[in-house]
């Protein structure tokens, strides 16, 4: 059986590392420490090593980027897009990540459908009036506002895909029933019970992590050797956009100030399982370990209310560690549920009015 990895689903930069330092096949009931809590053993960095961890250009994977301005505000959300036809796989990253977390998988998904990955508020290249307001209500409104600006009143079929914190946002957006063309929901490695239980450890994990990097290459190297990301190529694409250069300290620091958003953490996950189960669209839950289902999800899975796939030999960021497998799972989910270019009829959701023939 896959190792029992503690899912700590909020400041995911740190939690990824904590999930995976235990090693395969070993299970423990005590909270694991963050990969950022101590310096991993590693040889001295050489020039060739730095080249190995050099940033990669996202344009090899997404087709284009765009800034989406929200009317009557100063909020501008950055999105990456790929593909030209079919339903839209709309991706929401975890806390501390960016839309480029989905870059490698997007390069495969776009062969069949469209892909959009947005930088959530306080992350990546997105700029908002209040980057620290990571309340679930605000983030849901952000997603709906971006979709409204991109597609107007006639959006295509939308499959929401959310990783960890982004998974909670996806579930809450679906629960609002405010997106008439919502056709599917994919949640990546977040379960209410485990997430709620790990909240108490989050500030300590954040305070213990590495906070400053002399170069982007050092940050990428840290992420890979610390165990938070297992795919070097993905890390070389996604990690740079999680950083910003601090002129006063002459080093790179994290873009997202997660430690200042603790007041919102509980709201991300409370009631998440019931909201997920009650969402009236086809649902897929991807997990990196079998021991993460809470009671509500266990019962729901036995009743066939959603599909669950355990993706083995991967870390918390499934979409980064095994992008080809992740892409195949998403595309197969769309195909199996017959989610086509014009959407599907979903009971309980208001459909756009159709022209009379």
Structure tokens at 277: 């189960």
Is 316 considered catalytic here?
Answer: yes
User: Active site residue: 14, 279, 316, 321, which one?
Assistant: 316
Would residue 201 show up in a list of annotated catalytic residues for this protein? no
The answer to whether 281 and 182 are in contact (CB under 8 A) is yes
In 3-state terms the chain splits into helix, strand, coil percentages (rounded to 5) of 40, 15, 45
Residue of 6, 106, 120, 122 whose CA lies nearest to 58: 106
d(CA 349, CA 177): 6
Task: Indicate the DSSP class of residue 159.
Answer: E
Distance CA 343, CA 345 (A): 7
Tokens representing 160 are 């929401």
Find the Cα–Cα–Cα–Cα dihedral 160, 34, 227, 44, rounded to 10°: 140
From 75, 119, 131, 189, the catalytic residue: 189
d(CA 156, CA 306): 23
**Beta strands 283-287 and 158-163, pairing class:** unpaired
Given 32, 164, 238, 279, which residue is catalytic?
A: 164
Reduce the DSSP state of residue 286 to 3 states and report it. strand
Complete DSSP assignment for 60-124: GT-SEEEEEEPTTSS-EEEEEEE-SSS-EEEEEPPTT--GGGGHHHHHHHTTTSEEEEEPPTTST
Can you tell me the distance from the alpha carbon of 350 to that of 313, in angstroms, rounded to the nearest whole number?
40
Q: Which two tokens stand for residue 13?
A: 């930069």
CA angle 203, 265, 229 (to 5 degrees): 65
By annotation, the residues acting in catalysis are 164, 189, 316
């Amino acid at each position: 059986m896959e190792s029992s990895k503690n899912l700590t689903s909020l400041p995911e930069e740190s939690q990824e590392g904590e999930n995976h330092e235990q090693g395969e096949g070993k299970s423990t009931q005590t909270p694991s420490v963050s990969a950022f809590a101590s310096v991993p053993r590693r040889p001295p960095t050489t020039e060739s090593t730095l080249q190995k961890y050099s940033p990669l250009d996202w344009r090899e994977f997404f087709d284009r980027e765009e800034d989406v301005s929200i009317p009557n505000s100063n909020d501008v959300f950055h999105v990456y897009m790929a593909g030209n036809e079919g339903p839209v796989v709309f991706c929401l990253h975890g806390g501390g990540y960016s839309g480029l977390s989905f870059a490698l998988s997007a390069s495969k998904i776009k062969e069949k459908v469209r892909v959009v990955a947005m930088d959530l508020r306080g992350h990546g290249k997105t700029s908002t009036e209040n980057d620290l307001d990571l309340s679930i209500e605000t983030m849901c409104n952000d997603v709906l506002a971006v979709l409204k600006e991109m597609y107007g009143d006639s959006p295509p079929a939308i499959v929401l895909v959310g990783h960890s914190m982004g998974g909670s946002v996806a579930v809450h957006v679906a629960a609002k029933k405010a997106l008439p063309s919502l056709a599917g929901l994919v949640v990546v490695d977040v379960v209410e019970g485990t997430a709620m239980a790990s909240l108490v450890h989050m500030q300590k994990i954040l305070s213990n992590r590495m906070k400053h990097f002399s170069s982007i290459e050092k940050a990428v190297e840290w992420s890979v050797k610390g165990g938070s990301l297992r795919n070097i190529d993905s890390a070389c694409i996604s990690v740079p956009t999680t950083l910003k250069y601090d002129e006063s300290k002459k080093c790179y620091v994290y873009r997202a100030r997660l430690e200042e958003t603790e007041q919102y953490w509980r709201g991300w996950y409370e009631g998440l399982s019931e909201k997920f189960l009650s969402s009236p669209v086809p649902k897929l839950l991807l997990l990196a370990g079998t021991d993460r289902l809470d009671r509500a999800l266990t019962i729901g899975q036995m009743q066939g209310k959603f599909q669950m796939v355990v993706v083995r030999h991967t870390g918390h960021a499934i979409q980064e560690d095994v992008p080809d497998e992740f892409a195949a799972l998403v595309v197969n989910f769309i195909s199996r549920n017959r989610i086509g270019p014009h959407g599907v009829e979903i009971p309980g959701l208001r459909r756009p009015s159709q022209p009379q023939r």
